[in-house]
Amino acid sequence: MSVSLGPGGGVGKPRQPSLSQLRAFVAVAEHLHFRDAAAAIGMSQPALSGAVSALEDTLGVQLLERTTRKVLLSAAGERLAVRARAVLDAVGDFMEEAEAARAPFTGVLRLGVIPTVAPYLLPTVLRLVHDRYPELDLQVHEEQTASLLDGLAQGRLDLLLLAVPLGAPGVTELPLFDEDFVLVTPKDHWLGGRGDIPREALKSLDLLLLDEGHCLRDQALDICREVGRPEGALGTTSAAGLSTLVQLVAGGLGVTLLPRTAVPVETGRSAELATGYFSDPAPSRRIGLAMRAGAARAEEFEAFAVALRGALKPLPVRFTV
């Protein structure tokens, strides 16, 4: 490999091939003809020949075997042509990514969503992206809160849709809306269908909860603590998802709390269920977006939050400012 001399005659850094030299070499490797290669990349034939010669000089390797009739790749040239193509492809990907970064709502957006939100809000989110941001490549990951926060911190995820506040360092929250919890009971339960259930009723009910790790479980436990019911007074039956939880209620094993956005989907599957509503102020949760503090796409995510609030207006929720 050729080297350059630094000030005073010392050995400097090795010279690096230029992108134009690599393009010229790859074009010749593909066409095995200088005139055709030059035409393919819009370069004069002398300039192309000079670029390939300069690349050989820089590398200290003969890449081509030139005859009066044709051009052949040397053994080293065949191997290095593969590497050169990979370099040019990587540069092309790099430039595409930079172009996408300049234009909002293009490129990839990796959205993390908690399981107690995903089935009920994703149809609206996907419709919004399809209609308003057709150039956005939305990739959805459904995970529990702890995993989502880890993915955000590690750069695996860009934006989260989940229950807030999180109280996590380095995370900026964009609140979207508040939604009430409702009480789902068997259809013949004495609280089924009522619209004035006091929170204190939760002290004595057989309340079914999600498994540990779900933020909705923690929220339900917080509500129970507020009315003076300790966690130890709850039963041991739990479920991995809201659908299973509601089916346990339909089977008469107890009652449960559902966020209002989940009610149409989950209670519509069984005629054995009834829904009751709490007196004001009803227990509730807040849903929002979360991003890394100082995220490069912060303005884009803030605009997305505004658009999403508008798209979610038909839902039975209260919007935050």
Both structure tokens of 233: 């007074």
The CATH number, out of the four listed (3.40.50.300, 3.40.50.1970, 3.90.1170.40, 3.40.190.290), of the domain defined by the range 103-321: 3.40.190.290
Beta-sheet pairing, 64-66 with 71-73: antiparallel
Q: Which CATH architecture has domain 3-102?
A: Orthogonal Bundle (1.10)
Count helices and strands in the chain by DSSP H and E runs: 10, 14
Whether the CB-CB separation of 48 and 37 falls below 8 Å is answered with yes
Q: Strand, helix or coil at 8?
A: helix
Q: Check if 3-102 and 103-321 are the same fold.
A: no
User: Could you give the angle at the alpha carbon of 82 between the alpha carbons of 76 and 85, nearest 5°?
Assistant: 130
Per-residue tens of pLDDT for the chain, all 321 residues: 344 444 444 455 668 999 999 999 999 999 998 989 999 999 999 999 999 999 999 999 999 998 767 789 999 999 999 999 999 999 988 887 777 667 788 888 999 999 999 999 999 999 999 999 998 999 999 999 999 999 999 999 999 999 999 989 999 999 999 999 999 999 999 998 899 999 888 888 888 888 887 888 888 888 888 888 776 667 677 788 889 999 999 999 888 999 999 999 998 888 889 999 999 988 999 999 999 998 888 999 999 999 999 999 999 999 866
DSSP one-letter string for 249-301: HHTTS-BEEEEGGGHHHHHTT-TTEEEE-BPSSPPEEEEEEEEETT-TTHHHH
Can you give the residue ranges of every domain in the chain? 3-102, 103-321
Half-sphere exposure of 60 (CA within 13 A, CB side): 7
Q: Strand, helix or coil at 210?
A: strand
Instruction: Report the C-alpha gap between 168 and 208 in whole angstroms.
Output: 28
